[in-house]
Amino acid sequence: MSDQDKDRSMLLQKEMLAEHYRRLEAAPETREPVVYTFVPGNLTELIRSFGALPVLPEINALQSAMRGKSQGYIAAAEKGGHSEDVCSYVKCDIGMARAGNVGPTGTRLPKPDLLLLSYTGCYTFMKWFELLREEYRCPTVFLQVPYEGDGSQTPAMRAYVARQIRETLIPALEKATGRRYDEDRLKESLARSRAAEDDLVAVLQSARKTPSPIDAYFGAVYYVGPIFSAFRGTEEGLAYYRALREEVEQRAARAEGPATPAGRLDAQKYRLVVEGPPNWTHFREFWRMFAEEGAVVVASTYSKVGGTYDLGFRHDPADPLGTLADYCSGCYTNRSLPARVEMLERYCREYSADGFLVHSVKSCNSFSAGQLTMLREVERRTGLPGAFIESDLVDARYFSAANLKNRLESYFQMLEARRTGAAVPA
Amino acid sequence: MTEPSPRAAVVDWAAQIAEDLDFAAARAHLAENPGRKAAGYLPVYAPREIVRAAGMLPVGVHGGGDRLEIIRGDAFYQSYICHLPRSVIELAQSGRLDFLSAVLFPATCDVIRNLSGTWQLVSPEVYVRYLDLPQGGASELAAEFWKEELGVLAADLGRIAGRAVTGDSLREAIAAYNAVRSLIRELYRVRRETPWRVPSEELYLLLRAGETVPLEAFVERARAYLAAVEADAGRVRDKARVVVVGAFCEPPPIGLIKTVERAGCSIVDDDFLLGNRMIDGDVPLDGDPLGALARAFVGRAVRNSTLYEADPEGKRRLIGERVAAARADGVIFASASFCDPALLDRPMLRAGAEAACIPCIAFQFAENTGQFQQFREQAGTFADAIKLWGGE
């Protein structure tokens, strides 16, 4: 896709990211502090309130994969003793660090002044930062976000997280950045987050329309990029989401579909709900397999890993630490499997889906373990046909294009047959 | 027919219980009194004191090993997920766990965590609780949170059992498990000092059986075993002394443990069935028992791959410390395939071991591994290298 074919919001995001990576590269000279943290449970507003720049290792890993660099990094990590069995994000990041820490855009990433381990919804995060601590020999601060095993956050969980932020994280950030905690600054940032979240939700929920003006899986990974990474609570983030919402609303008014690798998808034959992260090594090829068949994704769970705003959560400037605790707790992978099933069921109904598809990735047990049960449960509750396909996040060895295409084509034929009442092909 | 020796009697008893996929011993205990109930728990650590204080039988659910044919379990898990959850699901779906009124899922990894959700979906009639063990090191805040969580668990189990957990019942349970911990420490000490007298296969079976039967039955057999061991000096064998690291959740097949020891190694420390030794030392009996149990875990949980290591140098030092404490010659990193905690930790632990010039080898297994030739060759070569060249 050339720049000419891209939406204005995509160009805006590209500029924002490029500028962010330029600032990161210059950080050793400008002395802007750098804090590494993860997407789920990221405390971007808090980090930036200390004048620090966030680095999200998962974003670097997926960007490296989209640029064809992940395989070399993974090979380097495995040569260094990392098992083939474990998360490829981790190995990609370790490999990148050992290759000079040149980020996906070609600029060098600075070493962290602090590793902020927000332990939210993923066991591997804990090991990942233990490993990075060995690479960078820098301070690490730990935030435990209790898992919503019973389906919701309890007052005790909320208080535990908020107190950790106040008693552990804020002192660690003060020490790493040399700045005092400024609650007013944090509140201003949270107010901007809230406004941007309204716009993001409007964008995601536009997929209820027919045709959908967005693709809520492949397209949504671009839409959630700024709010899941370095830009939540920033002026740039706010402007981006205003522009994105306008763009999507205009597209909806014209009854146009989203731009895809196969061209604009106005003629949408199948509306799908998707569970699981995408593959990043063959992202556009994977997307094309859907778009060429006229399949548009109308809702996805992956676009909620960095926050479940469409379920009603908004950052609340009136309760800055409590709202950060709420935010962390509600991220998708911190939710129990029954809660995830309820979300999927709701998506299938509210977005008038024709089918439901699980893309299971080898790397991520937080997503993958239990997906087969979820598939059966969603099928049972909705009566919609489900499909199950597999690959990986950033390890190209597990992406079998022919196999995936075959399975998807069969699935679309089945949807078509159900629609027309014809016999389902064997 | 001659009577088995006291030691053989204990080992036979343990083997029969440990290898029984129908949990007949636990069922028999429940059948003695129709009001009795049982609570299962997954690896690695669960606060069994609270289960006992509610009058319930704690039952370790450690999978089906190499004795269980997986028929339904594979429909629940993809090939790239470890074997344990599929055999646990197989046990559940085949009705073998239908005597459990509750199942507890500790924060061991995302697979165990998500298995709690699978259980909620497929067995909604069973009480399921995810135990979010505090991470991040010892702090009063973590202890407060954990105490609150334990309080919820105690109230819930009390309701299920029809017998409220009281301060007294919890103190009794803590004292009882202090005795168990003390016995297990003694078993490990004897093996460490005279490994030829305590084959690891026997120790493993005894501990595994102990997680299925009432605590008193385990204590009686463990004491009998220790007495029998003390009475028999055994024949000293000069094998390579090794620490086995990484098999704390999905258990290795017994055949693998035997193979390692028959190939010239004596296991002098391990992390098999780690929950038994997760709290280092006794839990204080004075004061608030729930608070004491919470603080014991937060402050004195043994360092292992399922917990966050707050000390930046801790991972590097851990193997050296364990090898020194066990007076071991080397380390075998034995991890279940696709085990995130063990495999993600391994590069850090191994780097520390190698920096300390500790010989080490690594392999992966599954609970149903049936072929041991490669392990025999690897462990045998390792033992020879240690004996001949000091591991170089």
User: Distance (Å, rounded) from C-alpha B298 to C-alpha B133?
Assistant: 8
User: Distance (Å, rounded) from C-alpha B131 to C-alpha B146?
Assistant: 9
Q: How do residues B144-165 score in pLDDT, each as one tens digit?
A: 999 999 999 999 999 999 999 9
Q: Measure in Å the smallest separation between the Cα of B314 and chain A Cα atoms.
A: 10
Q: Residue B34 pLDDT > 60, yes or no?
A: yes
Which candidate from A80, A131, A365 shows the least CB-CB separation from B340? A365
- Residue A52 DSSP class: P
The helix or strand, by DSSP H or E, that contains position A193, with its residue range, turns out to be helix A183-205
Over residues B346-366, the mean pLDDT reads 97
Over residues A404-417, the mean pLDDT reads 97
Q: Residue A424 pLDDT > 80, yes or no?
A: no
> For B183, how many CA atoms within 13 A lie in the half-sphere containing its CB?
24
ipTM value of the model?
0.96
Q: B96 is written with which tokens?
A: 């073998």
Over residues B184-196, the mean pLDDT reads 98
Q: Is the peptide bond before A211 cis (omega within 30 degrees of 0)?
A: yes
User: Distance (Å, rounded) from C-alpha A386 to C-alpha A373?
Assistant: 12
Q: How do residues A250-301 score in pLDDT, each as one tens digit?
A: 999 999 999 999 999 999 999 999 999 999 999 999 999 999 999 999 999 9
CB of A400 within 8 Å of a chain B CB? The answer is: no
Over residues B382-386, the mean pLDDT reads 96
Q: Which residue of B has its CA nearest to A373?
A: B76
Model-wide pTM > 0.95 = yes
Residues, chain B, total? 392
Q: Residue A425 pLDDT > 80, yes or no?
A: no
Q: What is the pLDDT of residue A103?
A: 87
Q: Measure in Å the smallest separation between the Cα of A307 and chain B Cα atoms.
A: 19
Q: What is the pLDDT of residue A419?
A: 87
Q: What is the pLDDT of residue B218?
A: 98
Q: What is the pLDDT of residue A59?
A: 94
Give me the sheet containing A355-361, strands edge to edge. A295-300, A270-275, A355-361, A386-391
CATH entry, A3-181, from 3.40.50.11890, 3.40.50.300, 3.40.190.290, 1.20.1740.10: 3.40.50.11890
Q: What is the pLDDT of residue B50?
A: 98
Give the pLDDT band of residue A420 (cuts 50, 70, 90).
Answer: confident
Measured on CA atoms in the order B24, B29, B35, B36, is the torsion positive or negative? negative
- Residue A282 DSSP class: T
Q: Residue A7 pLDDT > 80, yes or no?
A: no
Q: Measure in Å the smallest separation between the Cα of B206 and chain A Cα atoms.
A: 31
Instruction: With CB atoms and an 8 Å threshold, state whether A126 touches B135.
Output: yes
Q: How do residues A337-359 score in pLDDT, each as one tens digit?
A: 999 999 999 999 999 999 999 99
Instruction: With CB atoms and an 8 Å threshold, state whether A337 touches B120.
Output: yes
Q: What is the pLDDT of residue A426?
A: 45
User: Distance (Å, rounded) from C-alpha A354 to C-alpha A344?
Assistant: 13
Q: How do residues A81-108 score in pLDDT, each as one tens digit?
A: 999 999 999 999 999 999 999 988 889 9
Q: Could you give the dihedral angle defined by the CA atoms of residues A222, A226, A229 and A230, in that order, rounded to the nearest 10 degrees?
A: 150
Over residues B97-122, the mean pLDDT reads 98
Contact residues, chain A, for B308 at CB < 8 Å = 117, 119, 126, 130, 142
Give the pLDDT band of residue A423 (cuts 50, 70, 90).
Answer: low
Q: What is the pLDDT of residue B138?
A: 79
Q: How do residues B229-253 score in pLDDT, each as one tens digit?
A: 999 988 999 999 999 999 999 999 9
Q: How do residues A134-164 score in pLDDT, each as one tens digit?
A: 999 999 999 999 999 999 999 999 999 999 9
Mean pLDDT of chain A: 96
Give the pLDDT band of residue B389 (cuts 50, 70, 90).
Answer: confident
The helix or strand, by DSSP H or E, that contains position B72, with its residue range, turns out to be none
Over residues A377-405, the mean pLDDT reads 97
For residue A408, give the nearest of A386, A377, A393 by alpha carbon: A386
Instruction: With CB atoms and an 8 Å threshold, state whether A83 touches B309.
Output: no
